């Protein structure tokens, strides 16, 4: 799914007392979160922010990787857990190192 259509929801590990059922977890959901899954988490980013739509493509990509860094460094989410969740976002898969598990090419290289 496109970044602009994705809600990133997580609960920092340090908030295990407040939300033990989701502490240290992250999910990426469609913006139309009809079942309300995102509400089970303490933090949200992505499509839940109206500011995302106003950013340039480059600024949105920067925001995506800033969000990833925030989850991992500030909030203690395991990097591999965050990585697996972020693979649901097209822009993430297309911009991580091509030899990383889950990476894809936006425009696949032509075969010789």
In a domain, 8, yes or no: yes
In a domain, 103, yes or no: no
pTM: predicted TM-score of the whole model, two decimal places:
0.90
With beta carbons less than 8 A apart as the criterion, state whether 91 and 62 touch.
no
In a domain, 26, yes or no: yes
Domain count of the fold of the chain: 1
In a domain, 16, yes or no: yes
- The whole-number pLDDT of residue 96 equals 96
In a domain, 48, yes or no: yes
In a domain, 80, yes or no: yes
Catalogue the E-assigned strands of 1-101. 6-10, 26-30, 43-46
Percent of the chain clearing pLDDT 90 (strictly above): 84
Higher pLDDT, 81 or 47: 81
- The whole-number pLDDT of residue 52 equals 87
**Domain of 14?**
3-95
In a domain, 55, yes or no: yes
Overall average pLDDT of the 88-99 stretch = 96
In a domain, 102, yes or no: no
């Amino acid at each position: 799914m496109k970044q602009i259509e994705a809600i990133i929801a997580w609960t920092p590990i340090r908030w295990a007392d407040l939300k033990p059922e989701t502490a240290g977890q992250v999910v990426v959901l469609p913006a139309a979160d009809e079942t309300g899954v995102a509400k089970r988490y303490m933090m949200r980013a992505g499509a839940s922010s109206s500011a995302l739509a106003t950013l340039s493509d480059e600024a949105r990509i920067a925001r995506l990787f800033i969000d990833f860094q925030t989850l991992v460094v500030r909030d203690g989410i395991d990097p591999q857990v965050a990585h697996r969740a972020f693979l649901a976002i097209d822009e993430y898969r297309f911009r991580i190192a091509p030899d990383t598990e889950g990476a894809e090419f936006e425009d696949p290289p032509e075969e010789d």
